[in-house]
Amino acid sequence: MTVREEIIKALDALPEEALEAVLQYVKFIQEPEEVEPTAEELEAIAKGEKAFAKGEYVSWGEILI
């Protein structure tokens, strides 16, 4: 089964009231809103990039364990 087929099957199983949220999400990922980061967010990004460069991070797989 393709991903598209799986998505369609999952959509068919959703209650009607949940479909509005799915539609909003699909529209969002098609045209994401562009937002300028704040000075605080830019600082946090820079801090994270430095930590990553030093190898100071945890992989997603390790978090899931």
Q: What is the pLDDT of residues 30-55, one digit of tens each?
A: 988 888 999 999 999 999 999 999 99
Question: Considering the chain, what is the average pLDDT of its residues?
Answer: 93
Closest CA to 11 of 22, 24, 27, 26: 22
Cα 54 to Cα 40, 41, 50, 60, 61, distances in angstroms: 21, 20, 6, 17, 19
Token pair belonging to 25: 């999400």
pTM summary value: 0.46
Q: To 5 degrees, how large is the angle CA 62–CA 64–CA 65?
A: 70
Tell me what percent of the residues of the chain surpass a pLDDT of 90: 80
- Express the helix, strand and coil content of the chain in percent, nearest 5 each: 70, 0, 30
